């Protein structure tokens, strides 16, 4: 009699546990399906985690790019880019490698540029435009940021793209005659060969910075800090 009761109790307990397990697995399946559909979208939804990380990367860019307002006033073609190429390719690439969603570079550029408005307004506009172009190029070629090459390309292209826009800016603010005009021509601003040399140097530095960014992200992946 007692054995029958115990057995029925045990059976009902097992049944209840199975029901709970089934409910949990159904819930998990629904969550994973939701995540999969979100990830398979062309423009996946950003989570707070992504936004915070990209904003942190933007803060890093800002801190290391504090020299911008100083070098920005020196009329040497590409001096801003040369001074900031490494930082402005390294940190966005780390951001893109972790988040891997279209718009990551644009968001980083926006967060960084929103504070750069106070220091170099022109650079803010330049950065936004160039982020859109760089992201467009990377997505056009690689379709998504799943491959490291896409992050490398976007990181390399992003900052050198600001050169033509900054060139127009210099032409506007520094194209006058007189003693100051002489001072400007004493620098490299008017020489096309110097401009080409600077552009190559900036692109090479950006490539180097992006490469380091990719390597660091791979190390972080290996150590488990960034999910695979």
Q: Quick check: 110 binds other proteins (CB under 8 A)?
A: yes
Structure token digits, residue 218: 């791979």
Q: Of residues 44, 88, 98, 131, which one binds other proteins by CB under 8 A?
A: 98
Q: Please state whether 46 falls in left (phi above 0), alpha (psi between -120 and 50) or beta.
A: beta
Distance from C-alpha of 82 to C-alpha of 152, rounded to nearest angstrom? 18
Place of tokens 């590409």: 78
**Taking CB under 8 A as the rule, does residue 99 contact other proteins?**
no
Q: Is 145 exposed, middle or buried (0-12, 13-18, 19+ CB in 10 A)?
A: buried
What does the block give as tokens for 127?
């950065």
What residue spans of 175-191 are helical by DSSP H? 179-186
Choose, by CB under 8 A, the member of 1, 2, 42, 48 that binds other proteins.
48
Site for other proteins contains 165 (CB under 8 A): no
Query: Taking contact as CB under 8 A, which single stretch among the options 31-39, 127-135, 150-158, 180-188 is the one that binds other proteins?
Result: 180-188
What six digits make up the tokens of 109?
């550029």
Site string for other proteins, 10-29 (x = CB under 8 A): --------------------
| Ramachandran area for residue 176 (φ above 0: left; ψ -120 to 50: alpha; else beta) | beta
Contact 56, 112 (CB under 8 A): no
Number of residues that bind other proteins (CB under 8 A): 49
- Tell me: does residue 70 bind other proteins (CB under 8 A): yes
Give the interface segment with other proteins, choosing from 12-20, 114-122, 145-153, 195-203 (CB under 8 A).
114-122
Instruction: Tell whether residue 173 is a contact of other proteins (CB under 8 A).
Output: yes
CB of 35 to other proteins, least distance (A): 16
Q: Region of 24 please: left (phi>0), alpha (psi -120 to 50) or beta.
A: alpha
First and final CA of the chain: distance in angstroms? 57
Question: 64 or 144, CB closer to other proteins?
Answer: 64
> Torsion angle, CA of 151/93/113/121, rounded to 10 degrees?
-80
Residue from 13, 23, 33, 52 that binds other proteins (CB under 8 A)?
Answer: 52
Min. distance of Cβ 111 from other proteins in angstroms? 4
Whose Cβ is closer to other proteins: residue 116's or residue 198's? 116
**From the list 42, 182, 193, 228, which residue makes contact with other proteins (rule: CB under 8 A)?**
182
Chain contacts with other proteins (rule: CB under 8 A): 46-49, 51-60, 62-63, 69-70, 72-74, 94, 98, 107, 110-112, 114-115, 117-121, 173, 176, 179-180, 182-183, 186, 212, 216-217, 219-220, 223, 225-226
């Amino acid at each position: 009699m007692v054995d029958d009761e115990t057995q029925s109790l045990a059976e009902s307990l097992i049944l209840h546990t199975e029901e709970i397990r089934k409910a949990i697995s159904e819930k998990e399946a629904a969550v994973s399906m939701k995540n999969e559909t979100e990830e398979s979208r062309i423009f996946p939804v950003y989570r707070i985690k992504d936004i915070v990380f990209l904003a942190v990367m933007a803060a890093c860019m800002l801190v290391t790019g504090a020299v911008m307002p100083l070098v920005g006033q020196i009329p040497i073609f590409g001096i801003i880019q040369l001074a900031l190429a490494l930082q402005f390719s390294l940190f966005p690439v780390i951001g893109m490698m972790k988040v891997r969603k279209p718009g990551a570079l644009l968001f980083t550029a926006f967060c960084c540029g929103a504070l750069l408005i106070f220091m170099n307004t022109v650079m803010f506009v330049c950065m936004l435009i160039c982020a859109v172009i760089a992201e467009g190029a990377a997505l056009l070629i690689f379709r998504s940021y799943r491959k490291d090459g896409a992050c490398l390309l976007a990181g390399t292209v992003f900052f050198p793209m600001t050169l033509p826009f900054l060139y127009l800016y210099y032409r506007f603010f520094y194209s006058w005659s007189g003693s100051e005009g002489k001072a400007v021509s004493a620098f490299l601003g008017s020489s096309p060969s110097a401009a080409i040399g600077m552009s190559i140097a900036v692109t090479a530095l950006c490539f180097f910075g992006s490469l380091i960014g990719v390597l660091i992200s791979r190390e972080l992946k290996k150590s488990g800090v960034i999910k695979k």
